Every structure is written in C-alpha cells, then in structure tokens.
Amino acid sequence: MSNRQQYSEPRATPETVSVVGIFPLLPVWNSDAQHATEEIAQSWLRFVGDRLAKDAAFPQQLACCKTIDDVYQVYAQFWQQAANDYGKGLTTFADNVWQAARGPLAPFSADKRQ
C-alpha cells in the first residue's frame, strides 16, 4: 500500500476527537469574526479619512505662510501630528486585531474552565 493510500483515510487521534467539541461554538465564532472585522474596517477607514483630510489641508496651510519661520512651523506641526496620528491609529488597529484574535479562545481561557 502506498503512503498516499495509507494516510488518506481519517484516523481518530486525541487531537481530531477533541476538535469535534468545538463545532457547536463555530456559529458564535463566525458572528464574532464578522463583528470584529467590521470594527477593524471602521476603525481603519476612520483613521485613513482623518489623515487624508489633514494631508489635503497641508498645501493650503503652506500657501498661507508669509515667512520662512511660518513654513518651518507648518511643517513641524504637520509631521508631529502625522507621527501622533499614525502611532495612535496603528495602536488602535493592533488592539482591535488582538481582541479579534483572542475572542474565539475566550471559552477555553483558564478563568472560564472550572
């Protein structure tokens, strides 16, 4: 018998038997995954929209500058704000993704098993 034929039939192992116990949870996980995906998408789109608005306003702010000091000030404010926004935006995005990843594992956490 070839290796392909030998291993093509399902075998009952402790790992595959324990997987059967998660099937009742799959509809809940599907709903949670959809909700988490929506939250992540909304958060990301809100961040991108806010940054695009600030990026679009930047040329107008430069055009209003009267001195070189004004230009330096506008550039400094723009880049400081961008750095802050990207830091907060990526932190929020990472937190949302982390919560979404942990959600399906909540029923198996140590404090729930007693």
Whole-number CA gyration radius for the chain = 25
Domain that holds residue 79: 25-101
How far, CA to CA in Å, does 96 sit from each of 50, 84, 99, 103?
Answer: 18, 18, 5, 11
pLDDT (mean) for 80-105: 87
Binned at pLDDT 50, 70 and 90, residue 12 comes out as very low
* Statement: the pTM of the whole predicted model exceeds 0.75: no
Indicate whether 10 belongs to any domain.
no
Indicate whether 13 belongs to any domain.
no
Predicted local confidence at residue 70, as pLDDT:
96
Strongest mean pLDDT among 12-21, 30-39, 92-101: 92-101
Indicate whether 108 belongs to any domain.
no
Predicted local confidence at residue 37, as pLDDT:
85
Count structural domains, the chain. Answer: 1
Indicate whether 62 belongs to any domain.
yes
Indicate whether 19 belongs to any domain.
no
Indicate whether 70 belongs to any domain.
yes
Binned at pLDDT 50, 70 and 90, residue 73 comes out as very high
Predicted local confidence at residue 45, as pLDDT:
93
Q: Can you read off the two tokens belonging to residue 23?
A: 């099937």
Element (H, E) at 82: helix 68-102
Please answer whether residues 37 and 100 qualify as being in contact, where contact means their C-beta atoms are separated by less than 8 angstroms: yes
pLDDT (mean) for 19-24: 61
Q: Chain-wide mean pLDDT for the chain?
A: 78
Read off the amino acid at residue 87: G
Indicate whether 36 belongs to any domain.
yes
